[in-house]
Structure 1
């Protein structure tokens, strides 16, 4: 299931615990605060639940018979379909080694037994919100990538030393080079800020043409950079020359 398409108004939580009293306590608390809850009493049952429907968060008991929480967490995190789901361990153990091992296996947080309702809700709310923000960022990144990949104008990002940090497919074709020959290399073309220049390019029909260059100041990964746009003006240039 594409979690980005799920209505975010009622996030889903999977509770995995071998004690029915624990499941009931948590399920009532979470459902009363607007969460959709599914339950599993052991590791195998939890994996079946995951394959049927991906939750937004997993509350996982640390110690269970047959498959304990460590092993189940490791299996979940090794599966690319599930590895982004945040896991909060449920434990009565105050042994630091257990807590550290839980984090090593991929947990993002833990809740101590016996539960404090406010603590449970605060931790759950925090990680649900972080997950939703991550999904939204990914959605926006996908949109950005679609636009940048399909736009016919060439787009480059160069740092203050003129090193290419980003190049979209259009500019890679225009320069008739592989991206490995562009990224991390010096642009090699003199570009003066706030001036308009022209260079020869390879057009989409594999004929040579002319592109206008425009440059704008920007930030890239926290550093000053320039965004360079190359627009194919071959046809308008030909009309002007004629």
Structure 2
């Protein structure tokens, strides 16, 4: 029981960005049941989910109107990743991918395509045109970690192990090393 709780806490923490905000997924699928299953799986893993029943509806959520993106609309949603079904009427997952990657305001959003059909040509075409991944339906628990890894950090992560610069006035003019006093067992470098 404790192991399950620990696993759940780890998943919840890793479903957040570097600021602790839940990763926001735009889940696009024309099938109501598939949309609900994916939504529940993502929510259980602490993702924030917005659902759309078509590629056109997804574009509206992203702020597209008359072939342009309204920044204010997109910024209100702050979508971190798009998870879209491939086979949908009117606008399939590939068309949605091309619309997103063709717009400078939203092209940095990772797009992952899912499908129950395994078509190597379709898969390679999507990957060659900017899809992060092409996953098989039904979405599995192990796929959630992949989704997390595709999300770009929202703020730059500080580098560790970098050299610090020393102000010139702190370096003695003699060029020789000075000994510094130690304070109660604390070494001062």
Number of the residue aligned with 1:212: none
With normalisation by structure 2, the TM-score equals 0.64
Instruction: Judging by fraction of residues, say which structure has more strand.
Output: 1
Number of the residue aligned with 2:57: 45
Q: Is the 8 A contact 1:54 1:82 kept in 2?
A: no
* C-alpha distance in structure 2 between counterparts of 1:38 and 1:114, whole Å: 18
The partner residue of 1:83 within 82, 102, 107 is 107
The CA deviation at 1:22 is 1.0
Number of the residue aligned with 1:127: 150
The CA deviation at 1:95 is 1.4
Number of the residue aligned with 1:57: 81
Once the two structures are superposed, what CA deviation does each residue of 1:42-81 show, in whole Å capped at 9, x if it has no partner?
A: 1110011112323100001111101111111101111111
Q: Which runs of 5 or more structure 1 residues have no equivalent in the other structure? A: 1-5, 141-242
The partner residue of 1:107 within 114, 131, 149 is 131
With normalisation by structure 1, the TM-score equals 0.50
Computed over aligned residues only, the root mean square deviation of the Cα atoms, in angstroms, reads: 2.2
Q: Which runs of 5 or more structure 2 residues have no equivalent in the other structure? A: 1-17, 64-72, 159-189
Query: Which one has a bigger Cα radius of gyration?
Result: 1
Higher relative contact order (CA 8 A, sep 6+): 2
Number of the residue aligned with 1:21: 33
Kindly tell me the number of residue pairs found equivalent between the two proteins. Answer: 131
The partner residue of 1:136 within 155, 176, 181 is 155
